[in-house]
Structure 1
Amino acid sequence: MPSPVSKPRTLYDKIWDDHVIDIQDDGLALIYIDRHLVHEVTSPQAFEGLRNADRAVRRPDCTLATVDHNVPTDSRKNFASVQSFISEPDSRAQCVALEENVKEFGLTYFGMTDRRQGIVHIIGPEQGFTLPGITCVCGDSHTSTHGAFGSLAFGIGTSEVEHVLATQTLLQKKAKNMRITVDGELHEGVTSKDVVLHIIGLIGTAGGTGCVIEYAGSVFRGFSMEARMSVCNMSIEAGARAGMVAPDDVTFNYLRNRPLAPKGEAWDRALAYWKSLKSDEGANFDVEINIRAEDIVPTVTWGTSPQDVAPITGTVPDPTLISDPGRRSSVERSLKYMGLTPKTRIEDIVLDKVFIGSCTNSRIEDLRSAATIVLAAGSGAKVAPNIHAMIVPGSGLVKQHAEAEGLDVIFKRAGFDWREAGCSMCLGMNPDQLSPGERCASTSNRNFEGRQGAGGRTHLVSPAMAAAAAIKGRLTDVRKFLGVDLSSSANMKVASAFDFFTDPVLPPPEPEKLAQSETSSKGLPPAETPSSVAKFTVVSGIAAPLHIENVDTDMIIPKQFLKTLKRTGLANALFYTLRKDPHTGEDTDFILNRAPYGQAKILVCTGKNFGCGSSREHAPWSLNDFGIRCIIAPSFADIFRNNTMQNGMLPVTLSDEECRALAEDAEAGLELEVDLEKQEVRRANGKPAIAFTTDPFRRHCLLNGLDDIALTLQKVGAVEKFEQRRSELWPWLDGFGYKGKKIPVRGLGKMDW
C-alpha cells in the first residue's frame, strides 16, 4: 500500500511499493496482481494444476481470457464451432481446452464468436481492463505492452500463471530502475517502431536485463497511446523485465469511457491517483540512457536478433570487420541463416511476403499508417507480383473500426490479403507461416531463426515500411512515399473507437449449470498442500558444450511444439531446428545428436543471455524432459532463469572464462557435478571446483522441492488484509460480483464486468 517513505521515487518504485503484501529480509516480496490476462498456449497446464490440487481461481473478476495464438485468420463467415473451424488437431485442442477451463473456473472469455476477441495485448487496453498504476501479468513475454499506461506489466511462465490464478499474487524480487530518454524532433517517416528498434540496436538484447525501463523525454510524451504500446511491447527484446511510460492526458483521454474503465465518481478518484504516477524529481535510476531523436532514421533488422539493426539506407555488416570473436561468430551465423552477403545494400533485399499485424503493430493507428503509404503510391498501386502481403487486425473491434474507415477497401484494392484477428504470422503457431527460405518484412517483434516458420527469414519494420516494401517488392525507404499530394486520392474516413463499444458490460445470464461447478466455489486449501516440484541437490553426469550467444526460447523449442496440454513429452522438441535438417528432416551433427551428449544432464553455454525471448515455460520443460537439470552460462534472461527454478532446475551463472573452461571439460568427455548445497561445480581429473552463488530463497526451495503456491497460501491472512485495503483505496479495480456485490447468474457465478 502507499509507502510512507519520503525520498524521491521512480514510477516503478511507487507501483511496486503500492503492491507489496509481504517482504523477506533478502528482498523477496509477495506482490499483489491486479490484472491477469490468459490465452490458450500457456494456460492448460496451469488449470490442470489447479484441478489436481482442488484449487479455485481466487479473483475471477480480475482475470480476462481469449484465444489468439492458434486461431486461423481465415474468414469466419461459416464459423460454427472451434472443433470444426480449427483443422490442426493440437491447435484445436488448446482452444477447446481454454473454452472448457473458463467455463469450469468461471472466467470472462472473449471467444471466437465474440467480436471483442483478439490478441491479449490488444484487447486489454482496448476494453479499459488495463489501467494506470496496476500490476498486470500474462503468460506471454509481450505483456510489457501494458506498461504504456503507467502500469507494471510483465510476462510470466505457466507455473506463475497457476500461482496468480490460485493466489492473485506473485513472489518477485524488485528489479533495477533504468530510464531511456529520447528528446528532440523525429525525422519525417520515423515511427515508434523505428525508435524502439534503434534503442535495442544501441543497448543490445541484454541491455535491460534485471531492469524495468521507464521511457521519458519529449518523443514519448508526443507519442499516441498506440505508439507508446509499440515501444513498451518490445522492452522484453531489450532484455528488460518491463517497460513503462508515465500516464498523462494522452493516457486519460484514451481510457475515458472505455467499457471496463471506472465511471463517474470512481473515475474522478482514479484520475486523482493516476496523476501522482510519475517519477519524482531527483529519483534515482540505476541506468540512464539518453538518445537524440535526430539520430534515428527508418530502421530494419537484417539478422536473427532484434539487436541486428541497420538504417534503411545502410548495408549488411561485414563480420571480418568485427574484432570481438563472440559477436563476429554471431553475425556470421545470422548472415548464413538469412542468406545475406556482407555489405549488401538493405534496399536491395528482395522479399517474398509482407506481414502487418501482431501485438506490436496491429492497432487502428498502425493500419492507418500502412494505408497512407498505399494511397501515396498512387491510385493504381498494387502489391508487387513477387509478394504475398497480409494484414491482420489485432482484434475484432480493430477490424470493424478499420472497415468503417474504408481501410480494408484501400488494402484489398491494392492486393493485400485482409484477414481476421489473431497472432497470425508473428510466431506461426497457426496456418500463417513462412516456408523454408522465404523472406518477410514483418511488423512483429522477433526475427529469431524459424520464428515465422522453419527456415523462414524475418526483417522487422514499421507498418509504413512494411506497406512500402509490399508495393516495391523489396525493403524500401518509406520516405520515398512521403510528401506525395493525396488530394486526388480517396480520403480516409476517421471513426472513433468508442463507436464500437456497444457490447453490454454485463452479458446476459447463462441458465445452464456446468459440471464441476463446485471447483470454483471452494475456498483456499490448507497451507500444507503437497508440492509437485522436484528437489535439486546434486546433479552429476555428462555435460554438453554450446557455443552460441543469445540462445532464444524459439531456438530451444520451436513454436510447433507449444501446442501441448502437458508439461512433459517435449524431449524430442529440444533444439529441434538445430538437431534436424529443415529440408530433409535428417539428424544434423548438432552437439546433442552426438554421443555421449545425448545423455547430457548439464548444459554449458559459453554465450551470454541464455533463454532470451518468450516467457513460455515450454523451454525449460523441454530441457528437463531431455534430462538436462542444470544450465551453466555467463548470463540468463530474467524470465527464463525464474522458469527453470519453478521446475526444479538450476541455472548457474559463471564468468566467461569459467564457462569456457567447463565447456573444454565437456568437449573432452569429462563429467561434471553440480552441488547446490555447497554451491560448487566439481570437475574431473583433480581440477579445482568452481564456486557459484544462488538466491538464498530459491536455493532453499530447490533443495527442499517447495511449491511456491503452497508457500504463498500460508500468507492468506495478509493477502485478505491487502485486498480489503485495496478495495477501500482503489475500488475501481474490483469487478462486479466481488466481496458481496451482486454476481450475475452465469452457471458458475461468473464474475463479469
Structure 2
Amino acid sequence: MPVATSAPRTLYDKVFDDHLVYSGEGDTLIYIDRHLVHEVTSPQAFEGLRNAKRPVRRPDCTLATVDHNIPTSSRKSFKNIDTFIAEPDSRAQVGALESNVKEFGLTYFGMGDRRQGIVHIIGPEQGFTLPGTTVVCGDSHTSTHGAFGALAFGIGTSEVEHVLATQTLPQKKSKNMRINVEGELPQGCNSKDIVLHIIGLIGTAGGNGAVIEFSGSTMRALSMEARMSICNMSIEGGARAGMIAPDEITFKYLEGRPLAPRKDNGEWDRAVEYWKTLSSDPGAHYDVEVEIRAEDIAPTITWGTSPQDTVAITGVVPNPADAKDPIRKAGMERALEYMGLQAGEVMEKVKIDKAFLGSCTNGRIEDLRSAAQVIAARGKDAKVAEGIYAMVVPGSGLVKQQAEAEGIDVIFKKAGFDWREAGCSMCLGMNPDQLSPQERCASTSNRNFEGRQGAGGRTHLMSPAMVAAAALTGYLTDVRKLLGDDVAEHPDIKITQASEYFDVAKAAPNPIAQETLEGENNSALPEEVEPASAGLPKFTVLKGIAIPLSIPNVDTDMIIPKQFLKTLERTGLGKAAFFERRFNAKTGEENPDFVFNQEPFRNGKIMVNTGANFGCGSSREHAPWALNDFGIRCVLAPSFADIFFSNCFKNGMLPLVLPQDQLETLHADALTGQELEIDLENKVINRPNGQGSIPFNVDDFRRHCLINGLDDIGLTLQHRAEIEKFESRRSATWPWLDGLGYAKQGGKVPTGPVSPPKKQKMDW
C-alpha cells in the first residue's frame, strides 16, 4: 500500500501519504494505527460514544492505562482503586476508565498490572509503537513515538472520541522542518541537553505548523531511548510532531517485544523490509532547515518559566534589559520574579529544595542508569544533600522491575532518594507528588510553566545526570565536576536486557454486552449515514466585548491549571479559566489587576492577544472548554499552537491569526471596552463606531463547519466505504498491524463489541 511516486519525499510525507483514506476539498482523512488512552482526556470521549450509541471501531488498535492521577506511593497493600486513591476526583477518573475499558472491550494496564506505566513509555516498551505507523493519544507528548519513524501527535478529547468511533482523523498536511545535528557530543551531555539546546535556539514557536525530522550523525549515534527523549520535547518547540528515521538501532530495539511483528510467521522480515524504506529521499524539500553542531552543546538547564528559557549550566541568568522585543522583555521580567532569580545570577549558585527524576521524557531504564552512575561515581558515601528531598519515579512497572534487578534502586535508596511506583508523578502534579509554593526543583520533566509541578513551584529542566548532581550537592551543578573523566559504566549496575521482563501477548477480552447498543452487534460503522451534526452552536456573527491581552506563549496550564482537569464533564470550567492569574493563591481573592476581573471584560466574548503562540503546551481540550464556558468564542492572536488551534474548531470556537499591526489596532479598540463584531460569513471583523473593517482568512471547510454547526464524526461517517476499503488494503499490506495481542479467529480482526463470557481478565 505504500504510495509510489517519482518526486522525492520526506519521512513525514511518506507516512502521511501511506495513511491517506480520503482527500477532498478541505476534507482530508487519515487512518490511525495506534491509539493510546489514559484517564484524564478520555471520560468525555467515552461518554460521547455512549450517547451516540457508537462502538469502538477497532479495539485491537487501542491500549489504555492510568498514569496522570495515580499516587506513586508503595503498592504493597494495593487491593483496588477505591481503597488506594484518596483524592475523590482522581479516584473518579481512574474508576471511569476502568468501567469504560470493560464496557468497550479495550486492553487495559491497571494499577494491579506490572505493565502499567506512563502511556509514552509502555507503548514502545510493548512493541505497540512501530515504524511507519500513525500514533495518537490525548496527550501532547505523543510526539515521543516519532523516534521510531512513526507519525505521532497529541489530540484533544473530541479527537479521542473520533478515533475510537472511526479509527481515522481529519488532518491537514503540516510543513516539513528538518533539524540536523552533526558531530560528537561533549562529555556530560546527552539527549536532554540536545533538545533543550534546540528549543532555546528555535523558541517554543519555532516549529509551529510543522513536523520536525531530526537527522544527522549525532542523532544516528543515539539509542532508542535517547531518541524518544528528543522527540518527546519536539512539542515544546511548537511542532506538531517530531520524527527520526528508523534504522538498525530501531529494529534491534523492537525485535522480540510482545506486540512487534513475529518471526515465526514471516511478518518480521516483511515489516523490516518496509521500515527500511522510511528514510527521506535525497532532494526532498523542507520548508525550514536548521543546522546545529554537537560541539556547541553544553549541559543545559532552564532558568525561567518556558522551555525556551535555556542557558548552559556554566552561564548566568540573562538580563531582560537585553531583550529587544517589549513583550519578550515583560515576559522575562515576570519569569524572573516568579522564579525568584536576579539577572546575572550564576546558575551554579542557585540552591534547590527538591529533585525529581521521572516523566515520559526521562523515566526509562537508561535515564535511571545515567543518574545512578553519577551517584555511584561519588562512592559509597554519596548522599542527597541535607534538606533536599529527591525522588525517583520509574516510567513503568517493567522499568521499575528491571532497575531493581540491576541494583539501581539500591544505589538510589542508599543515597537517600525516595524510590517510587510508576506514574506521571511530579511532572504535572495532578497527583500527591507536588511542589509547595516557592520550592525549587531540579527536574527531568518537560515543562517549567508557572505552577506546572505545584502552585507557586519553581522548576528547572535538565537531564537525569544533572538532576542527580543537583540532588547530591543541593545546588544546580555541572555534572562534569562530579563525574570527572570516569564515564564508564559502574560495576554496581548490573545491565540486563528488557526482553527478560516481557510477558507473552495473550488474547484480549471481548467487551461486555451493551444494552445501549440495543442488543445489536455494531461491528462496523452504521449502514445509514447519521446526521452530520452533534448540536454544535452555529457560528455566523459574533458581537461582544473584546478582552485585551498582551502575553506571549499563553500555555494551556495558564488557561486551565491541572487541578481542574479531573472533571468527567466538558462544562463548568469557566470559573477556572486563567485561575492562577485571576485569584490570589494565598487568600483566594480576585486579583483586581487581571483583565478578567475588570468591567466590562467579565462578560467578554472575544479575546485579542498580541502575544504569539497562544495555547502552547498540553493537548488538554479543557483549555478551549474553559474559555468557551467563560463566554469566549473567538480568540485573535499572531499565531497559535497546533493542537489548541484544532481543539477550538472542534468546540465551535474560532481562532483567528492576524498580522501584528492589525492586532495592535483591535487591542487598542478592546482597551476602550467597546464591542467588536466577528462576521464569519463575510470574513471580516467590524470595528466599533463605524471605524471600518479588517478582513481575515479562514479555511473554507472549517468555516463551512462552524457556520452550519457540523461535527467531525458525523462528517467522517459519510466516508464509511473509503475507510473499509483502506482497512482491507492495510490488512493485506501490513498484516502485523491487525489484532496484535488478540485472538485472530478465522483471520478476522475484531471491529466493535460482541457478546463475551461473564467474567474475563483484561489482559493480552
TM-score by length of 1: 0.97
Question: Which whole-Å CA distance do the structure 1 matches of 2:570 and 2:530 have between them?
Answer: 24
Q: Is the 8 A contact 2:204 2:238 kept in 1?
A: yes
Q: Equivalent residue for 1:572?
A: 575
Could you say if the C-alpha distance between residues 486 and 591 of structure 1 is closer, same or farther in structure 2, counting changes exceeding 3 Å?
closer
Further displaced range: 503-512 or 706-715: 503-512
1:524, CA displacement in angstroms?
2.4
Q: CA deviation at 1:737?
A: 4.5
How far apart are 1:752 and its partner, in Å?
6.7
- Using the TM superposition, give the Cα deviation of residue 741 of structure 1 relative to its aligned residue in structure 2, in angstroms: 3.3
Q: Is the 8 A contact 2:102 2:511 kept in 1?
A: no
Give the structure 2 partner of residue 168 of structure 1: 167
Give me the whole-angstrom Cα distance separating, in 1, the residues matched to 2:567 and 2:257: 35
Which position in structure 2 is the counterpart of 1:741? 747
Check conservation: 2:259, 2:505, Cα contact below 8 A: yes
**How far, CA to CA, are the matches of 1:201 and 1:143 in structure 2?**
21
Which residue does 1:528 correspond to in 2? 530
Matched to 1:734, the amino acid is: D
Is the contact between residue 61 and residue 752 of structure 1 (CA under 8 Å) also seen in structure 2?
no
In 2, Cα distance between the equivalents of 1:151 and 1:135? 6
Separation in 2, partners of 1:54, 1:514 = 9
Deviation at 1:532, TM superposition (A): 2.7
Partner Cα separation in structure 1 for residue 5 and residue 475 of structure 2: 55
Moved more, 684-693 or 173-182: 684-693
* Unpaired runs of at least 5, structure 2: none
Runs of 4+ aligned residues of structure 1 deviating over 6 Å after TM superposition are: 486-489, 508-515, 517-520, 748-752
CA distance 1:607–1:376, change in 2 (3 Å): same
Question: Which residue does 1:2 correspond to in 2?
Answer: 2
Give the equivalent residue in structure 2 for 1:74: 73
Residue by residue, what CA displacement relative to the aligned partner does 1:158-188 show, whole Å, maximum 9, x if unpaired? 0000000000000011001111000011100
Q: Provide Cα deviations, 1:629-659, integer angstroms capped at 9, x if missing partner.
A: 1101111111101000000000011111111
User: Counterpart amino acid of 1:127?
Assistant: Q
Which residue pairs with 1:662 in the alignment? 666
> Deviations for 1:11-68, whole angstroms, at most 9, x for unmatched residues?
1111011000111234x41000000000000000000000000000000000000000
C-alpha distance in 2, partners of 1:682/1:220? 50
Distance 1:369 1:729 in 2: 40
Q: Counterpart of 1:652 in 2: which secondary structure? A: strand
SS at match of 1:604: strand
Q: Which residue matches 1:466? A: 467
Distance 1:746 1:633, change over 3 A: farther
Query: What's the offset of the Cα at 1:487?
Result: 9.5
Paired residue for 1:612?
Answer: 616
- How far apart are 1:738 and its partner, in Å? 5.9
Separation of aligned partners in 1, 2:652 and 2:157: 14
Query: Offset at 1:716?
Result: 0.4
Q: Indicate how the Cα distance of structure 1 residues 531 and 329 shifts in structure 2: closer, same or farther if over 3 A, else same.
A: same
- Whether contact under 8 Å (1:514, 1:747) holds in the other structure is no
Distance 2:487 2:184 in 1: 24
Structure 1 portions without partners, runs of 5+: none
Tell me the SS of whatever aligns to 1:90: helix
Whole-angstrom distance in 1 between the partners of 2:171 and 2:277:
24
- Inter-partner Cα distance in structure 2 for 1:746 and 1:414: 50
Q: Deviations over 1:188-244 (max 9, x none)?
A: 000100000000000000000010000000010000000000000000000000000
Residue 602 of structure 1, CA deviation: 0.5
Which amino acid counterpart does residue 284 of structure 1 have in structure 2? H
Task: Give the letter aligned to residue 467 of structure 2.
Answer: A
Per the alignment, residue 209 of structure 1 pairs with 208
Distance of 2:415 and 2:673 partners within structure 1: 59
728-737 vs 158-167, which deviates more?
728-737
1:546 aligned to 2:549?
A: yes
* Distance in 1 separating the partners of 2:284 and 2:509: 49
Query: What letter is aligned with 1:546?
Result: L
1:18-29 paired onto structure 2 within 5 Å: 18-26=18-26, 28-29=27-28
Name the CA shift for 1:214/1:118 in 2 (closer, same or farther; >3 Å): same
**Whole-angstrom distance in 1 between the partners of 2:251 and 2:508:** 30
Secondary structure of the residue aligned to 2:383 is coil
Partner of 1:480: 481
> For the Cα contact (< 8 Å) 1:513–1:747, is it kept in 2?
no
1:702 paired residue among 689, 702, 706: 706
Q: Offset of 1:378 from its aligned partner?
A: 2.1
> In the alignment, is the contact (CA less than 8 A) between 1:117 and 1:421 conserved in 2?
yes
**Aligned residue for 2:224?**
225
Alignment of 1:600 onto 2:601: no
Residues 1:15 and 2:20 aligned together: no
Secondary structure at the aligned position of 2:677 is classed as strand
The answer to whether the Cα contact below 8 Å between 2:391 and 2:418 also exists between their aligned partners in 1 is: yes
Q: Does the CA contact (< 8 Å) of 1:57 and 1:166 recur in 2?
A: yes
- The alignment status of 1:634 with 2:635, answered yes or no, reads no
CA pair 650-509 structure 1, distance change in 2 beyond 3 A? closer
Query: Is the Cα contact below 8 Å between 2:25 and 2:701 reproduced in 1?
Result: no
Conservation of the 8 A alpha-carbon contact between 1:73 and 1:421: yes
Which residue of structure 1 lines up, in the alignment, with residue 277 of structure 2?
276
SS at match of 2:146: helix
User: Partner letter of residue 673 of structure 1?
Assistant: E
Determine if contact 1:106/1:520 at 8 Å carries over to the other structure.
Answer: no
C-alpha separation between the residues in 2 aligned to 1:346 and 1:239?
26
When residues 285 and 520 of structure 1 are mapped into structure 2, their CA distance, relative to the original with a 3 A threshold, is farther
SS of 2:362's partner is coil
Q: Does 1:65 pair with 2:82?
A: no
When residues 520 and 691 of structure 1 are mapped into structure 2, their CA distance, relative to the original with a 3 A threshold, is farther
Contact 2:509 2:760 (8 Å CA) reproduced: no
Q: Tell me if structure 2 keeps the 8 A contact 1:104–1:515.
A: no
Asked if structure 2 preserves the Cα contact closer than 8 Å seen for 1:580 and 1:588, the reply is: yes
- The DSSP-based 3-state class of the residue aligned with 2:136 is strand
- How many Å apart are 1:377 and its aligned residue? 1.9
State which drifts further: 467-476 or 513-522.
513-522
Q: Distance in 1 between matches of 2:473 and 2:377?
A: 13
Cα distance in 2 for residues equivalent to 1:748 and 1:698? 45
**TM-aligned CA distance change 1:271 to 1:623, over 3 Å:** same
Partners of 1:540 and 1:514 lie apart in 2 by 44
Give me the whole-angstrom Cα distance separating, in 2, the residues matched to 1:169 and 1:615. 18
- What's the offset of the Cα at 1:662? 1.0
- Paired residues of 1:378 and 1:489 also in contact (CA < 8 A): no
Q: Report if the CA contact (8 A) 1:514-1:748 is conserved.
A: no
Instruction: Return the offset for 1:510.
Output: 8.7
Give the distance between the partners of 2:28 and 2:21, measured in 1 at CA: 7
SS of corresponding position for 1:92:
helix
The question of whether the paired residues in 1 share the 8 Å contact of 2:53 and 2:517 is answered with no
Displacement after TM superposition at 1:521 (Å) = 3.4
Quote the offset at 1:70 in angstroms: 0.3
RMSD of Structure 2 on Structure 1 (CA): 1.9
CA contact (8 A) 1:55 1:519 kept: no
Show the counterpart of 1:318: 319
2:625 is the alignment partner of 1:621? yes
Change over 3 Å in CA distance of 1:634–1:510 after alignment to 2: closer
Please give the alpha-carbon distance, in whole angstroms, between the structure 1 residues aligned to 2:489 and 2:104.
56
Counterpart Cα distance in 2 of 1:320 and 1:520: 68
Give the Cα–Cα distance (whole angstroms) in 2 for the partners of residues 674 and 487 of structure 1: 63
2:509–2:761 Cα contact (<8 Å) kept: no
Equivalent position amino acid for 1:45 in 2:
Q
SS at match of 2:361: coil
Q: Deviations 1:648-693 (Å, cap 9, x if unpaired)? A: 0000111111111111111111111111101111111221111101
Residue of structure 2 equivalent to 1:505: 505
Measured in 1, the distance between the counterparts of 2:508 and 2:428 equals 35
> What residue is the counterpart of 1:719 in the other structure?
723
Partner of 1:126: 125
Report if aligned partners of 1:176, 1:212 keep a CA contact under 8 Å in 2: yes
In the alignment, what sits opposite 2:648?
644
**Matching residue's letter, 2:224:** M
| Aligned-partner Cα distance in 2 for 1:21–1:749 | 35
Amino-acid identity (%)? 67
> What is the Cα deviation at residue 491 of structure 1?
2.3
SS in 2 for 1:95: helix
Q: Is the 8 A contact 2:106 2:509 kept in 1?
A: no
